Amino acid sequence: MKQTRNTQAKTEILNLLSTAGTALSHHEIELKLNGLCNRVTIYRVLERLENEGKIHKIVNVDGVVNYAKCHNCKKENHSHNHLHFNCENCKEVTCIENVVPEISLPENFIAYQYNVVISGICPKCKSILGL
């Protein structure tokens, strides 16, 4: 029974992240699952999905870890060197995959991955706030 439940949790969490327009925090995922599984199971499933190259983590400007579905990633090639936008009003984190910043490091530094989070106001909040 435990294996079935874990598979169901994995399927539901991946479906949530696939249909979400923004990255979701562990707490948001837990609320949306409505008691399907406990907090520890959610953490384990998220870790497994990340290791499988299906999702990636984003740490927002408040230090909260959010999760988003990967596009074009595989277990062997798991890269998310794109921008993440953190709205200061609604707190949503959005992957902006079509913008890749150019990073220039000093000599003898080697970058394997990076996490760029831009803080500001998203288009939805811009119109709500009348900006």
What residue spans define the domains of the chain?
Answer: 2-129
Task: Specify the residue for token string 């706030």.
Answer: 129
Report residue 30: phi and psi, to 5°.
-60, -45
Question: Is residue 70 marked as binding?
Answer: no
Question: Is residue 125 marked as binding?
Answer: yes
CATH number for the segment(s) 2-129: 1.10.10.10
- Model pLDDT, residue 4: 44
- Model pLDDT, residue 1: 39
Instruction: Give the model confidence (pLDDT) of 64-94 as tens digits.
Output: 999 999 876 666 665 666 788 999 999 999 8
Question: Is residue 90 marked as binding?
Answer: yes
- Model pLDDT, residue 98: 78
Side chain identity, residue 33? L
Question: Is residue 95 marked as binding?
Answer: no
- Reply yes or no on whether the pLDDT at 125 is more than 70: yes
Instruction: Give the model confidence (pLDDT) of 11-55 as tens digits.
Output: 999 999 999 989 999 999 999 999 888 999 999 999 999 888 899
- Model pLDDT, residue 80: 66
Q: What is the dihedral of CA 22, 27, 28, 33, to 10 degrees?
A: 130
Using CA atoms, how far apart are residues 40 and 74, in angstroms rounded to an integer? 25
Residue burial 62-81, b: 16+ Cβ < 10 Å; e: rest: eebebbbbbeebeeeebebe
How many DSSP H helices and E strands does the chain contain?
4, 6
- Model pLDDT, residue 124: 93
Side chain identity, residue 6? N
